[in-house]
Structure 1
Amino acid sequence: MPAPWCWPAAPTMPATPEAARRRRLTFARGRRAELLAALALIAKGYRPLAWRVSVGGGEIDLIVRRGSVVAFVEVKARPTLDEASVAIDARKRRLFSRAVRAWIARSPWSAGLTLRADAVFVAPGRWPRHVVSAFELDA
């Protein structure tokens, strides 16, 4: 039996103005990182298909295509590229894979294409690092 409908929970508000400011800065940093990642991928010949896709309980930062390859891209911004490269943990990979499966189910045109999970790591003052097939997509 489905749960009865109810109003969605109110968004949680940060406890202090400082926490709210930090949250806004983090959000803006993430948006800039995604833009830099997209520009770097465009320079490599990829064509953006979608940005910030939220489906299936997970989120895909970028979906890009080059030829017969569709790459689902996780973007991580950290103070250094090394810190960014270790920021994709098992939980994030699981949620990412769930979102990819949901996207594929809604995009039957992608059936004959090569699908992979890439990552782009962004750090201040550095060109974004694109890692092809950064991790396996869970079946």
Structure 2
Amino acid sequence: MRTALERRRVTFLRGHRAEWIALLFLLAKGYRPLARRYAAAGGEIDLIVTRGDTIAFVEVKARGAMDDALSAITAMKRRRFSRAARAWLARHPRAQGKTWRADAVFIAPRCLPQHLVSAFELEMI
């Protein structure tokens, strides 16, 4: 049986690998990366990418089954994610005038990644 520390390490490595898979998937779709693992204001954004006049703040979720990944973004996660997005936008004035959205990429074994555009509303207040 694994210790709590070993479980955290395995989870961390699985999440890190899922972020790389998501980034490669988005690169193939024509997105350019702006930031990875951006943390601020008590929240974290896995990927920040751009394509055209759109900036997408991307949450990556890796689960054992795609259905589990789809339901993994909680209300608390959306609030923290939105706070981090507001902090990033405040530090990047050139992002003003562009379209912002919160996307999600879901990763599950033996499945292609699933990119959900505008997965949830950013709380910009």
In the alignment, the residues of structure 2 paired with residue 23 and residue 57 of structure 1 have an alpha-carbon distance, to the nearest angstrom, of 20
Question: How many angstroms apart in 2 are the aligned matches of 1:90 and 1:22?
Answer: 25
Q: Give the drift of 1:42.
A: 0.4
Are 2:44 and 1:68 aligned?
A: no
- Determine the C-alpha separation between the residues in 2 that align with 1:108 and 1:87: 31
TM-superposed deviation, 1:44: 0.4
Corresponding residue number in structure 2 for 1:138: 123
Amino acid corresponding to residue 108 of structure 1 in structure 2: P
The answer to whether the aligner puts 1:43 opposite 2:47 as a matched pair is: no
1:81-102 Cα distance to aligned partner (Å, 9 max, x none): 1100000010000000000001
The TM-score, its normalising length taken from structure 1, stands at 0.87
The RMSD of aligned alpha carbons is 1.2
Aligned equivalent of 1:34: 19
Partner of 1:100: 85
**What is the aligned-residue identity percentage?**
63
Larger Rg: 1
Q: Report the TM-score, using the length of structure 2 for normalisation.
A: 0.96
Distance 2:46 2:26 in 1: 13
Partner of residue 112, structure 2: 127
Q: 1:53 aligns with which of 34, 38, 56?
A: 38
Instruction: Tell me the alpha carbon deviations over residues 1-52 of structure 1, each in whole angstroms, 9 at most, x when there is no partner.
Output: xxxxxxxxxxxxxxxx611111110000000000000011001000011000
- Structure 1: 5+ residue stretches without partners: 1-16
Structure 2, gaps ≥5 residues long: none
